[in-house]
Structure 1
Amino acid sequence: MTSQAVGRSPAGAITVLLVEDDAPTRWRLHDALAAAPEFEVVTAATLAEARAALVAAAPQVLLSDLQLPDGHGSELIRETRQRYPKTEIMVISILGDEESVISAIMVGATGYLLKDAFPTDIAATVRDLVAGHSPISASIARFIVRRTQGQPASAPAPALNTARLTPREIDILWGIAKGFSYADIAEHLGLSRQTVPGHIKNIYRKLEVNTRGEAVFEALQQGLIRL
């Protein structure tokens, strides 16, 4: 991790925490951002280094990969969103699968760029993020559009709990959405650790999904849970 402090330094600078384990990519992104006078950039190569930087101060922008040597970037996104609600968060990842995208967005990412579709000017993209936009790679945007097509903006809200989930299953689904482990969910709800996978299997069957990300997306669409 660089020795620079995370925060507003120098006066008026946009502080950026860049979390990327691949050194050439990290250097390239750092140099592209640091070349712009308004950015103050700190880099981290691991989840542990990123957490240490966050303890120092709140960055205005978090740019994070998802696949890190000591954990998953979604953990960092969730922790940052909870601790620093005003921090803008963008994923920069090679992962473009449905579960990765939905999970990252659900825990707090407001932008999602694929590494094979980097913008020519990453500094301009971060400026857009700070200005309140949500930079998203074209293929990710198309995916999100496909997931939401078929329900015009004027259409009535979906009926609640069309999947007929039980109150217990909704509680478990909320735990999934928050990123809790099976053990955490079991302890919170007073359940046996062994019974949680069975409940989750029933949730997947009723919602007609196959992954955590899909389950959370469908639950939010139906209004079953709120994050």
Structure 2
Amino acid sequence: MLVDDDAEFRGAVMAALQCCSDITPVAAAASRADGLALLSRAPADVMLVAPALPDGSGLEVIRAAVRRWPGCAVMVATTLGDRADLLDCIEAGAAGYLPKDSAPGHILDEIRGLSNGGGSINPLIAHRILMRSRRGEPALSTYEAQALELIARGFTADEAARRMEVSRHTVLSFVRSVYARMQALAASRPDGLAS
């Protein structure tokens, strides 16, 4: 499912999915209200959501999707990899980030990876999480910290996996685990919002 007001991006995603036999698009919306309305349907496995929509925040759609469809993996789709609200989206329940200028093959790989329990991350987000962990939230295991350090230095998940002598899936599982802890911490705050 796709919730994004960028018609060109929606078209690119749908075009990529038409060439793919293992991923089926179920719905698309261009606004917060329409995205929330889609949640009354049968659950999707993966949802791509823009953080900013013409009638409100994508955070509302992410939070509602996580509550209504706990098995759905949510990915933030944005043009700006350094958006301050990406960590807010992760804390709201997103398990990944997809640059809108990604090649069609990369879009499909990210959707598949998310559907299979992995998470996606970029160097800036890894750096921000590491900075937060130095303040105590979230607490990171040695391996999680090592994976984030490598990604923050610009290594891909594949490169980090080779350096750590683990699989790519393991690195992405570390990322997903850190995201889950961030989400639990955000939910435990009195206001339920990111710090």
Q: Corresponding residue for 1:153? A: 141
- Please report how far the alpha carbon of residue 83 of structure 1 lies from its aligned counterpart in structure 2 after TM superposition: 0.8
Percent identity between the aligned chains?
Answer: 34
Query: Could you report, residue by residue, the CA deviation over 1:80-106 in whole angstroms, capped at 9, with x for unpaired residues?
Result: 101111111110113445640221111
1:23 — aligned with what?
A: 7
Whether contact under 8 Å (1:113, 1:137) holds in the other structure is no
Equivalent residue in structure 1 for 2:109, among 113, 119, 124: 124
Tell which has more relative contact order, 1 or 2 (C-alpha 8 A, sep 6+).
Answer: 2
How many aligned positions are there? 146
Verify: 1:174 aligned to 2:190, yes or no. yes
CA distance in 2, matches of 1:96, 1:69: 20
Q: CA deviation at 1:141?
A: 2.6
Amino acid at match of 1:39: I
- Distance in 1, Cα, partners of 2:189 & 2:58: 21
Change (3 A) 1:65 1:51: same
Query: What is the CA RMSD across the aligned residues, in angstroms?
Result: 2.5
Query: CA contact under 8 A between 1:114 and 1:137: conserved in structure 2?
Result: no
Tell me which residue corresponds to 2:92.
107
Q: CA 1:52 to 1:153, structure 2 compared with 1: closer, same or farther past 3 Å?
A: closer
Aligned to 1:169: none
- Name the CA shift for 1:173/1:25 in 2 (closer, same or farther; >3 Å): same
> Could you tell me whether the CA contact under 8 Å between 2:39 and 2:68 is conserved in 1?
no
Compute the displacement of 1:145 (Å): 3.1
Q: Does 1:33 align with 2:17?
A: yes
Corresponding residue for residue 143 of structure 1: 128
Is the CA contact 2:9–2:100 (under 8 Å) kept in the aligned structure 1?
A: no
Tell me if structure 1 keeps the 8 A contact 2:16–2:104: no
Q: Unaligned 5+ residue runs, structure 1?
A: 1-16, 155-171, 178-212, 216-227
Q: Which residue does the alignment assign to 1:82?
A: 67
Once the two structures are superposed, what CA deviation does each residue of 1:120-158 show, in whole Å capped at 9, x if it has no partner? Answer: 42111111101110012333233323433587736xxxx
Question: In structure 2, what is the Cα distance between the partners aligned to 1:28 and 1:80?
Answer: 23
Gaps of 5+ in 2: 143-187
- Rg bigger for which structure? 1
Work out the CA distance in 2 between the residues paired with 1:21 and 1:44: 7
Contact 1:117 1:137 in 2 (8 A): no
TM-score for both structures, normalised by structure 2: 0.65
Query: Which residue of 1 is the match for residue 164 of structure 2?
Result: none
Deviations 1:30-52 (A, max 9, x none): 11123211222121111122122
Q: 1:116 to 1:141 in 2, by over 3 A?
A: farther
Taking a change above 3 Å as real, the CA distance of residues 174 and 78 of structure 1, as seen in their structure-2 partners, is: same
Decide whether aligned partners of structure 1 residues 126 and 135 sit closer, same or farther in structure 2, where only a CA change above 3 A counts.
same
